[in-house]
């Protein structure tokens, strides 16, 4: 009857977050309200993806929905979206204590062939009540209070951390609710998958080349790793989180800072990885310790299982 209890005691994402927040006596439900607006955006994108909306429309639509939902929540002051060159400063009557950085629809080149895409988000708090400035979001990832992503794949799944582990919720379309299906996700310490765009190999640096070579021809007698690369960060990171292994978007000669954006791609995924027991490294340091100078800044990233990231770290350190 345990399975039945599980099926009838529905842990929605709202209930889950309310439970978590009740540990803080000063909590007044602001975070729950903010999150429910993010959830609304995710449900919208999920339904639009399922309707087969074409790429151009879907990009713009998703961004509009998230910006409007976040502003109307009354809980935000600064928003940074991949789709908007400038940050959005919320008008004073609608301001609140949170700042949200997000990529409303990541992996959009995959839309028109039906491959998984996702939304990525990170949340900061304002520490003051002055006029919000861009400095309120140019903060290291270790200051985020929450991060997550929603994957629009064979099912729609939202993975969230508020700093107390990583929890996965699956959208039940008949209820229109995200239900806790993957409590306390931990990434395996070591994995047997590597995930990278190997088409860029001719432009990689020494340590990256050596690392990928070792994935294919291990020196210690362990089996070779499998290569999996969707080309949607959310899908590639989601698989890495559940199965273990490593995801990398390294620097190369053409893109010395890699491709992925610090604020709304690297930081949220690094936050989740660490919360799940893995690591995220830039090639020089812990990813969450980066301090971005611009909102759309990029950084190389190596993230995943603890031991796998440890290996690339050793190669990078040996190289300098």
Q: Note the residues at the interface with ligand AHM (CB under 6 A).
A: 82, 103, 106-108, 197, 231-233, 236, 249, 259
> CB 8 → ligand AHM: shortest distance, Å?
37
CB of 105 to ligand AHM, least distance (A): 7
Is 236 a binding residue for Mg ion by CB under 5 A? The answer is no
Query: What, of ligand AHM, Mg ion, none, does residue 197 touch, CB below 5 to 8 Å by kind?
Result: ligand AHM
Nearest residue to 294 (alpha-carbon basis) of 91, 148, 135, 176:
135
Instruction: Give the angle 218-224-229 at the CA atoms, nearest 5°.
Output: 120
Q: How far is the CB of 314 from ligand AHM (least distance, A)?
A: 24
Query: Nearest approach, Cβ of 178 to ligand AHM (angstroms)?
Result: 22
Torsion angle of the four alpha carbons 78, 302, 273, 297, in this order, in degrees rounded to the nearest 10: 0
Structural Rg of the chain based on CA atoms = 19
Residue 252, interface with Mg ion (CB under 5 A)? no
Residue nearest Mg ion (C-beta atom): 106
Residues 98-157 that bind Mg ion (CB under 5 A): 103, 106
In this structure, are residues 57 and 45 in contact, taking their beta carbons and an 8 Å threshold?
no
232 binds, among ligand AHM, Mg ion, none (CB under 5 to 8 A by kind): ligand AHM
* Residue with smaller CB distance to ligand AHM, 30 or 84: 84
Asked if 28 and 54 count as a contact pair (C-beta separation under 8 A), the reply is no
User: How many residues bind Mg ion, per CB under 5 A?
Assistant: 2
Label residue 267 left, alpha or beta by phi (over 0 means left) and psi (-120 to 50 means alpha).
Answer: alpha
99/179 Cα distance (integer angstroms)? 25
Backbone phi, psi, residue 38, to 5°: -65, -45
Shortest approach of Mg ion to residue 45 CB, angstroms?
13
User: Would you tell me which residues interact with Mg ion (CB under 5 A)?
Assistant: 103, 106
């Amino acid at each position: 009857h345990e399975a039945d209890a599980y099926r009838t005691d529905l842990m929605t994402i709202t209930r889950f977050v309310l439970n978590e927040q009740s540990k803080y006596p000063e909590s007044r439900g602001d975070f729950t309200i903010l999150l429910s607006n993010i959830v609304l955006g995710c449900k919208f994108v999920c339904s639009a993806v399922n309707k087969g909306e074409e790429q151009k429309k879907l990009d713009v639509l998703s961004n509009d929905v998230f910006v409007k939902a976040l502003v109307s929540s009354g809980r935000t002051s600064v928003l940074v979206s991949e789709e908007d060159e400038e940050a959005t400063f919320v008008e004073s009557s609608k301001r609140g204590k949170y700042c949200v950085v997000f990529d409303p629809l990541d992996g959009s080149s995959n839309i028109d062939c039906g491959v998984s895409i996702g939304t990525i988000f990170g949340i900061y708090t304002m520490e003051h009540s002055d006029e919000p400035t861009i400095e309120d979001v140019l903060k290291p990832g270790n200051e985020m209070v929450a991060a997550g992503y929603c994957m629009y794949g064979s099912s729609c799944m939202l993975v969230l951390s508020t700093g107390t582990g990583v929890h996965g919720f699956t959208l039940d379309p008949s209820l229109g609710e995200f239900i806790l299906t993957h409590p306390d996700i931990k990434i395996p310490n070591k994995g047997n998958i590597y995930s990278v765009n190997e088409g860029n190999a001719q432009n990689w640096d020494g340590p990256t080349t050596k690392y990928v070579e070792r994935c294919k021809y291990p020196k210690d007698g362990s089996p070779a790793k499998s290569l999996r690369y969707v080309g949607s960060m959310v899908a590639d990171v989601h698989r890495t989180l559940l199965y273990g292994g490593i995801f990398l978007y390294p620097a190369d000669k053409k893109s010395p800072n890699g491709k992925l954006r610090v604020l709304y791609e690297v930081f949220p995924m690094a936050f989740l990885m660490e919360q799940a027991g893995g690591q995220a490294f830039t090639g020089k340091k812990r990813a969450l310790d980066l301090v971005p100078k611009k909102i759309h800044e990029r950084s190389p990233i190596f993230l995943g299982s603890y031991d796998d990231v440890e290996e690339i770290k050793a190669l990078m350190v040996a190289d300098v």
